[in-house]
A and B are shown apart, each in its own frame.
Chain A
Amino acid sequence: GESVGLHLPTLSVQEGDNSIINCAYSNSASDYFIWYKQESGKGPQFIIDIRSNMDKRQGQRVTVLLNKTVKHLSLQIAATQPGDSAVYFCAENRIQGAQKLVFGQGTRLTINP
């Protein structure tokens, strides 16, 4: 079936290091991808998005890479800080069909001091 999934459910990195969170999607019709961060007890918070006409987009300390050939999405966080500890979700929106996001299961990122 169609899905948006993650390679790793958990990831631990040392404070100051860079982290990479990966996501695979199966629907080639997907053309809009978003990364959300969810801290404990809170709703998801938008981090960065990318459309399928791009393969890279940068924000503040974050970079999203899109590889349409292998249907892979990644989120890179540079110089991680304790506040980056959270669950990160990738989500996709498709060109046609319902106006909804399809979310992956999430990766828990832990920043060790």
Chain B
Amino acid sequence: GAGVSQSPSNKVTEKGKDVELRCDPISGHTALYWYRQSLGQGLEFLIYFQGNSAPDKSGLPSDRFSAERTGGSVSTLTIQRTQQEDSAVYLCASSRRTSRETQYFGPGTRLLVL
């Protein structure tokens, strides 16, 4: 079956521009997560969705970052007024119901802010 997909796979943008990253979770998975991975680093939690609501936004680094999920499926992560330090791989994962079940990751979006 289809796994988690993300688009675009790569994004190069100029400092100050806004970007939107998309995640399509595995069909039927109600839990969705966004993580950020800087070069050579571990994964940093950003936000968690259960259905369309986000009970945990604690990892969003600033108010320039926002995310939404519609129809309990697709999610978009938006970064406004991008900065060079936003350059990283943004990973999306989904699990059937909770984080205490296996999280399946997408391939990530590699964001480079010039």
Contact = CB atoms under 8 A, between A and B. Distances in A.
A99 to B, nearest CB: 4
B56 A99 contact: yes
Interface in B55-102: 55-56, 58-59, 91, 93, 98-100, 102
A45 B43 CA distance: 13
Contacts of B1: none
A72 B93 CA distance: 26
Nearest to A6: B42
B104 A46 contact: yes
B99 A104 contact: no
A105 B37 CA distance: 10
Contacts of A43: 4, 91, 93, 105-108
Nearest to B106: A43
Interface in A85-111: 89, 91, 93, 98-106
A43 B92 CA distance: 9
The number of chain B residues touching the other chain, given as a range, is: 20 to 34
B103 A105 contact: no
B31 interface: yes
Contacts of A91: 43
B105 A99 contact: no
Contact of A102 (B33, B45, B100): B45
B52 interface: no
B98 to A, nearest CB: 6
Interface of A: 32, 34, 36, 41-46, 49, 89, 91, 93, 98-106
24 contacts: A34-B103, A42-B108, A43-B4, A43-B91, A43-B93, A43-B105, A43-B106, A43-B107, A43-B108, A46-B102, A89-B43, A98-B48, A98-B58, A99-B50, A99-B55, A99-B99, A100-B59, A100-B99, A101-B33, A101-B43, A101-B45, A102-B45, A104-B42, A105-B41
Given A44-B43, A93-B99, 18 more contacts: A42-B108, A43-B4, A43-B105, A43-B108, A44-B105, A45-B105, A46-B102, A46-B103, A46-B104, A89-B43, A93-B100, A98-B45, A98-B48, A99-B50, A100-B59, A101-B33, A103-B42, A106-B42
